[in-house]
Amino acid sequence: MAMATRRALHFVFKVGNRFQTARFFRDVLGMKILRHEEFEEGCKAACNGPYDGKWSKTMVGFGPEDDHFVAELTYNYGIGHYKLGNDFMGITLVSSQAVCNARKLEWPLSEVTEGIFETEAPGGYKFYLQDHSPPESDPVLKVTLAVSDLQKSLNYWSNLLGMKIYEKDEEKQRVLLGYADNQCKLELQGIKGTVDHAAAFGRIAFSCPQKELPDLEALMKRENQKILTPLVSLDTPGKATVQVIILADPDGHEICFVGDEAFRELSKMDPEGSRLLDDAMAADKSDEWFTKQNKSKASG
């Protein structure tokens, strides 16, 4: 049974260089800064990873979070690099404009198959750009994650989390899943060996009606599945408080389920988002841009 009331929200990336990362998402992919939030201490649901200090969250996407799959960029002050694992295999999106932007800005691009280009966000995160006009809905088509046992993962995502199977290719060891036709899909790609999350490990987020969260938690307990953060309320300064539960699939991929009603309130686009990010980067002397500016002044 597909859970039509559930929706794919975003993928969380840890970023070490906000300036270059913002340049990639804004100038290469052509996404908009939807909102930017600064936090003085680590998140109760470890949204920013296992770090206690000051951090920021920037949501970027092609349109509002209500009906677009977006990226959540988390930046931990003072941490400039995260070791990449083999867990995240890429995000695929349709945008001939992004291909054009990358060429213009001389951002590295390589054609992997006809009309599909591979590029990397700072930190080594892979993006696949299809060189077509984007659909009217959401240009972000799918997120691909590595799994070590496709059948076991399929049981988890389809039977326990209620995702519909859209495509299945036993030979290529891949499955495409989703909650609705017009939403970003999740692609599971079987790999040989174990899935290594290293330090850069991401997280994929979905929403569901808030009343379903306790049932989801109870189901995972019954099935002896891993719950990383039991149901908890998260505060964002000056914005709505949301309830979340953080799960882990058989390979340890982190999954966040958030109550939809409060999340729609929290995730309203902030017209000041882009300025807030720019101000934060300007104030953060550890951002590479400042280092470069100072170096060029010193050598000039």
Q: What are 151-203's pLDDT values in tens digits?
A: 999 999 999 999 999 999 999 999 999 999 999 999 999 999 999 999 999 99
Does residue 1 fall inside a structural domain?
A: no
Q: Which helix (H) or strand (E) holds 74?
A: strand 70-76
What is the 3-state secondary structure of 143-197?
EEEEECCHHHHHHHHHHHCCCEEEEEECCCCEEEEECCCCCCEEEEEECCCCCCC
Q: Does position 81 have pLDDT exceeding 90, yes or no?
A: yes
Question: Which CATH number characterizes residue 82's domain?
Answer: 3.10.180.10
Count of CB atoms within 10 A of residue 71's CB? Answer: 25
Alpha-carbon distances of 149 from 90, 223, 249, rounded to whole Å: 19, 18, 11
Question: What digits encode the pLDDT tens for the residues 112-136?
Answer: 999 999 999 999 999 999 999 888 8
pLDDT at 43 over 80: yes
Residue 3 has a pLDDT of 60
What is the predicted pLDDT for the residue at 147? 98
Q: Poorest-confidence range of 44-48, 80-84, 101-105?
A: 44-48
* Residue 298: per-residue pLDDT: 46
The overall pTM is greater than 0.75: yes
* pLDDT for res 2: 45
Beta bridge partners of 130: 94, 116
In the chain, pLDDT over 70 holds for what percent of residues? 93
Residue 257 lies in a domain: yes
Number of domains in the chain: 1
Position 278 in a domain: yes
Q: Has residue 2 been placed in a domain?
A: no
Structural domain boundaries, residue 281: 7-299
